[in-house]
Each structure stands twice: as structure tokens, then as C-alpha cells.
Amino acid sequence: MNFEGTAVAMITPFTSDDEIDEEGYRSNINFLIENGVDGLLAAGTTGESATITHKEQRQLIEILVDEVDGKVATIAGAGSNSTKEALDLVQFAENTGADFALVITPYYNKPQPHGLIKHYTTINDNSDIPIIIYNVPSRTGTDIDTETIATLAKMNNIVAIKEANPDLDKVSKTQKALINAGLEDKFSILSGNDDLTVPMISLGAKGVISVVANVDPLKMSQMVNNALDGSYEKAMDLHYELYDLMKVLFIESNPVPAKEALTILNRAAGHVRLPLAPLKDENSVKLKEILKGLELL
């Protein structure tokens, strides 16, 4: 099993009492499905995985699987900088019925390449759920190299990488390594940067796990579908239509602008948890103007 298309790295909505807003979360899930996305990710970076508890993480995964009910792919954020902890979350995701587990490269402890191989081997060998590696060196301090990716791609349960390193040359090297190993149909590259999705698809990527799709799932899905179909002129038109939104959603730390955007659009979001703080007023003004320009507001 593999994933292709647009998955949304969903925000986690909170109530004013700082609890998970389950009703709002379910509403967001249905809105995104109705607007053409192919998959939904619970408890990723955009879902504030760093400041939700493991109990809340499990709750989000359970709600996602229940509400989606097979309509689109479900992806459970299940990584940790502890292999034992990551495996426990992956096994929970599998037992809950998620379609995929997204497993970030361990952060802070900066494992060596052979440590990364042992980390993912342990998870691969002790679960059956398809695993998507998540490489985001700007947050973890570790950039998984092409040789290591090619090694992991041979494992039976490891099916994709969400690649958030913005180096397009690395995408080419990774795809070439997969082709040389005959793994390009078994293992997929997914964009982890909205603004690089179209060029990454042109190099062989199969889709995106997107922040922008929280805000404009319809256009993001159309952009990706056009690129996957080879209709690059249409895809590029949508890329440039969404470009300002792609940039403003990272004007401050993700998911601060994304949650502000959903609040402006009267969709469930709530606050961000400390140490993140609300969007600066001047950036909120910029965000509103871009939302108006896209006729979302």
C-alpha cells in the first residue's frame, strides 16, 4: 500500500479550556474530505505534536480513524526521539486502524546513519502498518541521507518519505537511487514543503503532506492532481495562485499562521500552546489580505 496525492497535516483545534476540540476536529476532517483531499494526518508537527500529550495523540488518531471511516487515507503521527516510544505509538496506530504511520527522524539526540537504520528496522520488524519516514532537518537537527533512504526503502513496511529538506538536488539523487534499485514503484517521495510540491512531482515525487491544504484544500488538491497528471501549465497556474499563501503560512512558526487563518475563516482552531504565541498583529493583517485575494474570506 502506498500514498499518492494530497494529504493534510492537520492542525489540532483546542477549546478555551485547552482541551482537544473534538467536535471542531471532526468538522475540519469532513470539510477537508469534502474539498477533495486524499489523506489526513493527525498529530504531526502542524498538529502541535511537541506540546500534546501521548494520551491526546492517541485520542486524535482514534478520532481521525473513526470520523474518516475509510473515505480517505488516514496517517497517524507516531514518531519520537526514543525508538521504544515511537514503536509503541506506531503499534497503537496500527491497532487503531490507521492506514499509515508517519515516523519522524529522531530529534535532539542526532542519531548517526547506522543508528537511524536500527531505529527504523526495529519499527519495521515489530509492526505491519505502512510507514512514512519524515525528514525535516530544520526541526530535528538530523538530515537523513540518500544512501540511508535507499537502504530503508528496501524494508517491507517502509513505503515513503515525507521530504522537507528543500534541496531539490537531493530529491533527484533519491529518486535516481530508487530507480537504480528498482524501488520507485514500492517507495515514494512526498513533498514536505508546499512551495516545492510541483517541482518535486516533476522529479518523481507522488504528492505532498501539506500545511496549505488546511486553509485551501480544493486548490491545493487541484494543483497536485494536475501535476501528477502531467498538466504542468495548470499546476503552475495554481502554484502561483497559492504562492503568497504558501509563504505567509510560514511567516511565523508553523502552525501559528495556519491556526490564525482558520480562526479568521470561522473554522475550528483555537489557540496555539506555549511556547508558541499568537500571530503578531501586522502578520495577521497580511494573512487576511491574502485570504481575501484568494476569495476565501
Residues 6+ apart with CB under 8 A from 89: 54, 57, 58, 76, 78, 79, 80, 101
Classify 102 in phi/psi space as left (phi over 0), alpha (psi -120 to 50) or beta: beta
What CA–CA distance (Å, rounded) separates 92 from 8?
21
Catalytic residue, candidates 25, 162, 206, 259: 162
Known active-site residue 259: no
Q: Which of 196, 290, 199 is nearest to 244 (CA)?
A: 290
What CA–CA distance (Å, rounded) separates 44 from 57?
9
Q: What is the Cα gyration radius of the chain?
A: 18
Determine which helix (DSSP H) or strand (DSSP E) holds 291, and give its type and residue range: helix 281-293
Catalytic residue, candidates 134, 170, 219, 259: 134
The total number of residues written for the chain in this structure? 297
Known active-site residue 134: yes
Would you please indicate which residues are annotated as catalytic (active-site) residues? 134, 162
